[in-house]
């Protein structure tokens, strides 16, 4: 499955949040899935900064082509918006790797 990794980015330590999303993506690959990790825009942002709203718009464009959303723990306005988008589209949301 194509799995969208939804998790905190700006809330807390941004670098740790990116690492955590990448770790989840690695586990998804090991499980035979194909992750989309929006946190990787962290590196793009250093070259070409964009607003939070712009990043969210770019990231949300990928939700409709994913088969599932993996919502990692932690408070996040953006991740909550991503989950709501997936729900509207009927895309299943998982809250742990074990559920997949």
Question: Does residue 71 sit in helix, strand or coil?
Answer: strand
67, 35 contact by CB (below 8 A):
no
Domain 2-99 has CATH 3.40.1390.10: no
Rounded distance between C-alpha atoms, residue 7 and residue 83, angstroms? 10
Along the 100 residues of the chain, how does pLDDT read in single tens digits?
999 999 999 999 999 999 999 999 999 999 999 999 999 999 999 999 999 999 999 999 999 999 999 999 999 999 999 999 999 999 999 999 999 9
* Residue keyed to tokens 């408070």: 75
* Residue keyed to tokens 């809250």: 95
Q: Where are the domains of the chain?
A: 2-99
């Amino acid at each position: 499955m194509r799995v969208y990794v939804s998790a905190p980015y700006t809330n807390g330590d941004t670098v740790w949040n990116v690492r955590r999303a990448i770790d989840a993506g690695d586990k998804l690959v090991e499980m035979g899935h194909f992750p989309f990790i929006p946190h990787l825009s962290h590196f793009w942002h250093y070259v070409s900064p964009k607003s939070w709203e712009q990043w969210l718009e770019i990231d949300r464009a990928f939700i409709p082509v994913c088969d599932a959303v993996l919502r990692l723990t932690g408070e996040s306005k953006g991740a909550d918006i991503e989950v709501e988008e997936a729900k509207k589209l009927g895309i299943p949301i998982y809250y742990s790797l074990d559920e997949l």
